[in-house]
Amino acid sequence: MPLQDSQLNRLLDYLALLGKWNKTYNLTAITDPQRMLYYHLLDSLVIHDRILPGQTALDVGSGAGLPGVPLAIALPGSKWTLLDCNGKKTRFLQQVLAVCALDNAVVVKSRVEDYHAAKPFDIIVSRAFTSLAKFADSVTHLCQAETLLLSMKTSLSNSEARELGDDRYLIQETELQVPGIIEKRSLVSLKIKAAAIAGKDN
């Protein structure tokens, strides 16, 4: 995807800040700068085309800010909420927003089950957060009819698909090609069926 120099600089500033804070807060197991470029930045940005300008997006279990921070930098027209229940991680994310001058993102310290937004989100994304079924169930109260759930995984196992079932969700799996990464990457897209949305408060 084409990026302006200012966006590239922000992405590099983010990686530098992550490397610095990681020495104390242990935010990521990947510490080699080149591997961080591939496994953090490019692996996050590969789903950029699923998010449209003006859409609101929630990064559940954001952790070190992946994929929310790189996507917020690359897609300034989108609005991001970075959600995590760990105080160390949310403090880091607040510092990222300040250093990278990100005005299209906010940080929230909360468990997703306890979090209530003013309006439903257009996009809810997770990366190595929890099982697909638990992810989907935990965010139902934050969805509207058109909300798209995006789960970044190595693959969708048969057991996970069975656990989800097809009575509540429309499911699509897309294989992702990430430069510099040979391991399999998949994006599982879910839409909660209207009946499930209607019954979420029952």
Number of domains in the chain: 1
Q: Is residue 176 over pLDDT 80? A: yes
152's tokens? 């970044």
pLDDT digits (tens, 9 = 90+) for 142-152: 999 899 999 99
- Write a three-state SS string for the chain: CCCCHHHHHHHHHHHHHHHHHHHHHCCCCCCCHHHHHHHHHHHHHCCHHHCCCCCEEEEECCCCCCCHHHHHHHCCCCEEEEEECCHHHHHHHHHHHHHCCCCCEEEEECCHHHCCCCCCCCEEEEECCCCHHHHHHHHHHHCCCCCEEEEEECCCCHHHHHHHCCCCEEEEEEEECCCCCCCCEEEEEEEECHHHHHCCCC
At residue 44 the predicted structure's pLDDT band, cuts being 50, 70 and 90, is very high
Full domain range(s) for residue 71: 5-198
- What mean pLDDT, rounded, does the chain reach? 92
Q: Is residue 165 over pLDDT 80? A: no
Q: What's the pLDDT at 155? A: 78
Site of tokens 């940005």: 45
Q: What's the pLDDT at 1? A: 81
75's tokens? 């897609």
Q: What's the pLDDT at 198? A: 59
Q: Is residue 128 over pLDDT 80? A: no
120 compared with 196, residue with greater pLDDT:
120
Mean of the pLDDT values across residues 60-64? 96
The reported pTM is 0.92
At residue 167 the predicted structure's pLDDT band, cuts being 50, 70 and 90, is confident
Query: Comparing 17-31, 49-63, 117-131, 163-177, which segment has the lowest mean pLDDT?
Result: 163-177
Q: Is residue 178 over pLDDT 70? A: yes
Q: What's the pLDDT at 196? A: 58
Q: What's the pLDDT at 166? A: 66
Q: What's the pLDDT at 194? A: 65
CATH of the domain at 93: 3.40.50.150
